[in-house]
Amino acid sequence: MKILRTPDARFADLADYPFAPHYTVIKTADGSDLRIHHLDEGPRDGPVVLCMHGQPVWSYLYRKMIPYLVAAGLRVIAPDLPGYGKSDKPAEREDYSYQHQVDWMGQWLTANNFKGVTFFGQDWGGLIGLRLVANYPERFDRVVIANTGLPYNPEVADEIVKEVMAFRANAPTPSLLEMQKALSQMQGETAKKFAYWQKFCWETVDMPIGFMMSLTMEQHSIPGKIITFLAHQLGLDRLTQSTLAKAYDAPFPNPSYKMGPRAMPSHVPTLPTDPSLDEQRKAWAFFETFEKPFLCTFADNDPVTHGLDAQFLDKVPGTRGLPHATIKGGGHFLQERRPAEVSQAIIDLIRST
């Protein structure tokens, strides 16, 4: 397996990220060494909170939550998924299957022997982390999720499957604006609308990750948005790039490092033809009998995952009787916009259970 490693210099002097790196080397299926990075903050004997990020971000996403959690006496573990952050980056598209990420992070979890864990996951962090909970239930005491899901869609109509497959194969690459419009209209047409994000990511060889995260996470005036967008269109991002945008671009020195963010959306199992279907079925069967505390803290304004918490509240016994929170104005990446509220929900759950 060809594996890339981002030079340490790319992470020098990041704002609000003073955390020491920790590394674990695991083995891929072909015997290659794969180095996974994680943060380890707070008291060594404190209750462990495992915070997993999604796509296309990295553990930098948790820099605002870590101080709240540590101040409450918790030990915070925040890994970078392979392909992201300071972790190694396999170079080929086929390396980034859903199952590979679950297998790699499972090795990382057991190598570090984390136990008594409260899991927190958002976006792909939830997709992968919930599978870890199902695979290693003895290591987890509680679950908290936000803006994520455990997609399992065995009954999508054949005509929709054909339409989505044809779109992925033959439609022009969506523009950034077309993709954003489709995601804002996700409800009711999940597979069809999400295909815009899948196609945009895969066919945009040099995904503008920092630029997109700035638009998503930071407050911009209308003139500011126009200036930022025009600078991007003219290839002048560096002249207007914010500190946050630079941090989310840091793991990717050139487009060859971006295979993870590009490839992983296509592995979200939105169709019954996707290879993860049977493992998702098994995971849902597990959670339908899961009685440990399971808390939902979804934002009220995330178009991608809005309403997915209802599946967990309906099916997972561990959700009953808990104070599930709706985080107002959190957006998709609520760790950036509402770190105090999300952290407090985790702290309160641990203290009360």
The reported pLDDT for the residue numbered 277 is 92
| DSSP states along 131-152 | HHHHH-GGGEEEEEEES-----
Q: Looking at the predicted structure, is the pLDDT value of residue 229 above 80?
A: no
- Spatial CA neighbour of 6 closest among 95, 80, 103: 80
pLDDT band at 299 (very low <50, low <70, confident <90, very high): very high
Catalytic residue among 37, 38, 100, 332: 332
Q: Looking at the predicted structure, is the pLDDT value of residue 48 above 90?
A: yes
The b-or-e profile of 53-63 (16+ CB within 10 A means b, else e) is bbbbbbbbbbb
- Spatial CA neighbour of 273 closest among 131, 127, 128, 156: 156
Average pLDDT (81-97) is 97
Q: Looking at the predicted structure, is the pLDDT value of residue 53 above 90?
A: yes
Locate 73 and state its tokens: 């006496």
Cβ neighbours of residue 96 closer than 8 Å, sequence gap 6 or more: 83, 90, 259, 260, 263, 264, 267
Average pLDDT (328-350) is 97
The reported pLDDT for the residue numbered 220 is 67
Locate 215 and state its tokens: 């638009």
With tokens 């409800």, the residue in question is 187
Q: Which of 29-33, 145-149, 303-307 has the lowest mean pLDDT?
A: 303-307
Locate 163 and state its tokens: 């339409």
Cβ neighbours of residue 311 closer than 8 Å, sequence gap 6 or more: 149, 150
The reported pLDDT for the residue numbered 24 is 98
187: phi then psi, degrees, rounded to nearest 5? -60, 130
pLDDT > 90: percent of the chain:
86
Q: Where are the beta strands (DSSP E) in the chain?
A: 3-4, 22-27, 33-41, 48-52, 75-79, 89-90, 117-122, 140-146, 294-299, 325-327
Average pLDDT (268-288) is 95
Q: Looking at the predicted structure, is the pLDDT value of residue 235 above 90?
A: no
Would residue 123 show up in a list of annotated catalytic residues for this protein? yes
CA angle (336, 149, 245) in 5-degree steps: 25
pLDDT band at 76 (very low <50, low <70, confident <90, very high): very high
Residue 333: C-alpha distances to residues 39, 102, 124, 182, 352 (Å): 19, 22, 12, 18, 26
The reported pLDDT for the residue numbered 237 is 67
Would residue 302 show up in a list of annotated catalytic residues for this protein? yes
Average pLDDT (264-287) is 94
Mean predicted lDDT score pLDDT of the chain: 94
The reported pLDDT for the residue numbered 301 is 94
pLDDT band at 238 (very low <50, low <70, confident <90, very high): low
Average pLDDT (74-87) is 98
Which DSSP letter does residue 173 get?
P
Catalytic residue among 95, 123, 237, 309: 123
Residues 3-28 have pLDDT tens digits of 999 999 999 989 999 999 999 999 99
Instruction: State the Cα–Cα distance between residues 15 and 271, nearest whole angstrom.
Output: 40
pLDDT greater at residue 56 or residue 191: 56
Residues 210-219 have pLDDT tens digits of 999 998 998 7
The reported pLDDT for the residue numbered 236 is 62
Instruction: State the Cα–Cα distance between residues 83 and 104, nearest whole angstrom.
Output: 11
> Which domains does the chain show, CATH number per domain?
3-152+274-352 (3.40.50.1820), 158-267 (no CATH)
Average pLDDT (257-281) is 95
Catalytic residue among 95, 249, 302, 309: 302
Structural contact between residues 12 and 37, judged by C-beta atoms closer than 8 angstroms = no
The reported pLDDT for the residue numbered 234 is 59
Q: Which of 120-124, 225-229, 270-274 has the lowest mean pLDDT?
A: 225-229
Would residue 332 show up in a list of annotated catalytic residues for this protein? yes
Q: Looking at the predicted structure, is the pLDDT value of residue 231 above 90?
A: no
pLDDT band at 240 (very low <50, low <70, confident <90, very high): low
pLDDT band at 93 (very low <50, low <70, confident <90, very high): very high
Residues 149-186 have pLDDT tens digits of 999 999 999 999 999 999 999 999 999 989 988 988 77
